[in-house]
Copies of this chain bind each other. A is one copy, B any other.
């Protein structure tokens, strides 16, 4: 049993963490902080917890958080983590951070994409990018795990086998993502206003989206050369979920069979990557609908000889495998528990 706390627990990612941790048999939740809701019951912002817990948000007190916790999940805004995380580390607790502040190894990239000076670049080397499928061994021993961005998770997992196997032109990778509204967080804006969001498809940050930097970093490392992906997200009429469509150009003629084999070689022991091989029926390719509330990343592909494309699709729930679920998966690795502990829920259909 591990003592954990959550700092910044009132947003959608904080809520998803709470849902998962309340059902987790190996952790004991100590403190959940929220500056805005301190004193209020957790179910005030997370109504799905009504009848489950009478716990309340507490104000941000690093010392008592550190005193009571072995591992702290930080679900704070970008920039704010930069302040808080180093202090928690100084207190000797381990941190699983859900902001972007410690994801990029190169502080210059952080400045470029987040328009903030990185004041603790000294921590970037030891911080581990929390994608278990790529960095499991380092996560195990890390003091600071930085959980990937939701769209980055989907994109990197879909492209890793293609790049590792040298199948595709790494200079012309396109990722066209479709994402639900929860990805924009809990604060109402005109972009997330139901009357505006429903009924349409809205491209946004179509060049220069922040997750581009993480995807480049991880794929470059696999490719052993600099990769600059073309990444473009679209806001669709869905609450949770990401479908990432990676369009790549094949460098050679590929057979479905051998591509599938490459994917299986990469992921066959992964508890949360489901490869779709059976094309029959309506769900022969990934659809985020089927990952709702689960930690799965579904991956499928198709070869298009006409345009010489290998098209790779991946689907996740942006709040689960794209954030809180991935964080819990990291937690399980760090605490030597079975990786599926607390994450074995099945998805619903329809």
What residues make up the interface of A, taking CB atoms closer than 8 Å to B? 12, 15-16, 19, 22-23, 43-52, 172-174, 176, 178, 180-182, 184, 186, 188-204, 206-208, 212, 228-232, 234, 236-241, 243, 245, 247, 249, 274, 276, 278, 280-283, 285-290, 292-293, 296, 302-309, 311, 313, 315, 344-350
* CB–CB B230/A349 < 8 A: no
Q: Which of B174, B194, B203, B303 contacts A239 (CB 8 A)?
A: B194
Query: What's the minimum C-beta distance from A321 to chain B, rounded to whole angstroms?
Result: 14
* CB–CB B283/A50 < 8 A: yes
Query: What's the minimum C-beta distance from A273 to chain B, rounded to whole angstroms?
Result: 9
* CB–CB B195/A181 < 8 A: yes
Query: Which B residues are CB-close (under 8 A) to A344?
Result: 23
How far is A286 from B197 in the complex, measured between Cα atoms in Å? 13
Contact A307 to B228, CB < 8 A, known contacts A190-B188, A236-B178, A348-B19: yes
Q: Which of B47, B178, B350 contacts A349 (CB 8 A)?
A: B47
How far is A243 from B238 in the complex, measured between Cα atoms in Å? 16
* CB–CB A195/B285 < 8 A: no
Query: Which B residues are CB-close (under 8 A) to A278?
Result: 43, 50
* CB–CB B47/A306 < 8 A: no
Contact A181 to B208, CB < 8 A, known contacts A49-B346, A230-B247, A346-B48: no
Q: Please, which residue of chain B has its CB at the minimum distance from the CB of A273? A: B51
Query: Which B residues are CB-close (under 8 A) to A52?
Result: 346
Query: What's the minimum C-beta distance from A348 to chain B, rounded to whole angstroms?
Result: 5
Interface hub of A201, A247, A287 (most chain B Cβ within 10 A): A201
Q: Please, which residue of chain B has its CB at the minimum distance from the CB of A306? A: B228
Contact A207 to B303, CB < 8 A, known contacts A12-B195, A176-B247, A178-B236: yes
How far is A287 from B199 in the complex, measured between Cα atoms in Å? 10
* CB–CB A304/B200 < 8 A: no
Contact A313 to B188, CB < 8 A, known contacts A178-B236, A198-B194, A350-B12: no
How far is A174 from B308 in the complex, measured between Cα atoms in Å? 11
Q: Which of B49, B174, B241 contacts A201 (CB 8 A)?
A: B241
How far is A162 from B286 in the complex, measured between Cα atoms in Å? 32
Q: Which of B12, B290, B311 contacts A232 (CB 8 A)?
A: B311
* CB–CB A48/B348 < 8 A: yes
* CB–CB B206/A178 < 8 A: no
Query: Which B residues are CB-close (under 8 A) to A202?
Result: 282-283, 285, 287, 289
* CB–CB B199/A289 < 8 A: yes
How far is A193 from B194 in the complex, measured between Cα atoms in Å? 6
